[in-house]
Amino acid sequence: MKLRLLAGLSAFVAAAGLSACSSGSGEGVSGDGGRTTIDVWLMRDSVSTAFQKQFERAFGAAHQDIDVRVQIQEWDGIGEKVTAALASNDAPDVIETGNTQVAQFAQSGGLWDLSDKVDELGGRHWLKGLAEPGTYDGKQYGIPYYAANRVVIYRKDLFAKAGVDARAIRTRAQWIAATKKLDKGDRQGIYLPGQNWYTLSGFIWDEGGELAEKTGGEWRGTLDTPEALRAMAFYEKLQALGKGPKDSDEAQPPQHEVMAKGQVAQIINTPGGANVIAQNNPALKGKLGFFPIPGKTADTPGAVFTGGSDLVIPTVARHHDAAYLFVKELTGDAWQKKLAVAMSYVPNKTTLAGAVAKDPGASAMAVGAAVGHATPNTPGWAAVEAKNPVKDYMTAVLTGGNPAHEAEKASDAITSAMKSGS
């Protein structure tokens, strides 16, 4: 689903909360003088009011025959709301959706196929973690909008005290060595909860594994592969260099609060988490830094789960051409650069990473996003996240369970959940 990992990112932008530019029924209509009105659903806190209005003014000036009505939607319950809209005759013309939600909406035939627009939109440079989940059955339905992902947030003062240079941490081996130096006395080398499964996913991808794979037309869980088992072994090694709980995730307790209160040298989170930490402990303002999650070798950063949004156009939308113009401009290079700077997001193309070069958190995200992934591209994955056997598996291993046995059980549970959810 849409980046639950973006809790920190939401805090990053919440101060500039969105509001709809007008109310409206969601029905695209033709106005006076032959003008076309398109209705657009954007998500709460995705962009600031200032950016939204700036784009609307520029789009209106460039396309004077098109009026745009934006309606702000809440993430809670959005899946059911979009599904209902796609099945009706009253769908908006453009919808922002979480990148991993696209497959479930496309499965019903409710989305307009944009495959013939990919080249025109510069699709060969799109971030893999946004582009791939925007496809279904080989067709492109979701157009990458923006991305965000986890990085390492670290305490500059604790690193200096331990004699650790964050700039020198480029590999997993260097990361482990540095974290061991940091893990002394009351100081935790890293606070890593036992059920941070998005981080584990990155380690699995680094090893060449997957959470699930499609074989012979059917999806099955693959936590029991050698690659995934190696990833879990590394997670266990890293998690032991701190006092993180083995039976909960980063929200229980909120890891930002833990880092703000104690001698925690590192956490893995979106850069927006640094703002939350500083809000909880103003003494840490200016003492927090960022670096990309290290990879197995220095030449390749660690893989990350790419969260963010795609833009889709419903099949039943009344103004496909006008909707496409809106999508084309908002996801085009000029506005992607502006969006990245305004919101500290990662632009939708690898070629635009330089737009955030002066933003330490966003530039660290952009490094990881270049090798980012998304969860398995199947509508059935939503059922996996609802039960989340991955979390149970991680806790079982960290509390002494046999890794191979627990991975086999979890893989079977993933397979069963995907079948029930498809």
The residue with tokens 């806190």 is 45
At 179, which amino acid appears? T
Backbone angles phi, psi at 235, to 5 degrees: -55, -45
pLDDT band at residue 34 under the 50/70/90 scheme: confident
pLDDT above 90 for 42: yes
Across all residues in the chain, what is the average pLDDT? 92
At 307 the three-state DSSP class reads: strand
Give all domains of the chain, ordered by start, each with its CATH number.
Answer: 4-148+307-369 (3.40.190.10), 151-304+378-421 (3.40.190.10)
pLDDT above 80 for 217: yes
Q: What is d(CA 280, CA 257) in angstroms, rounded to the nearest whole number?
A: 7
- CA distances to 15, 223, 394, 411, 415 from 419, rounded to whole Å, are 41, 17, 22, 12, 6
Q: What is d(CA 93, CA 81) in angstroms, rounded to the nearest whole number?
A: 14
Q: pLDDT tens-digit profile of 287-339?
A: 999 999 999 999 999 999 999 999 999 999 999 999 999 999 999 999 999 99
The total number of residues shown for the chain amounts to 422
At 215 the three-state DSSP class reads: strand
Q: pLDDT tens-digit profile of 327-379?
A: 999 999 999 999 999 999 999 999 999 999 999 999 999 999 999 999 999 99
> How many other CB atoms are found less than 10 A from the CB of residue 399?
11
Q: pLDDT tens-digit profile of 134-173?
A: 999 999 999 999 999 999 999 999 999 999 999 999 999 9
Q: pLDDT tens-digit profile of 72-101?
A: 999 999 999 999 999 998 899 999 999 999
Q: What is the pLDDT of residue 33?
A: 60
Q: What is the pLDDT of residue 359?
A: 97
The residue with tokens 């496809």 is 135
Predicted TM-score (pTM) of the model is 0.89
pLDDT above 80 for 4: no
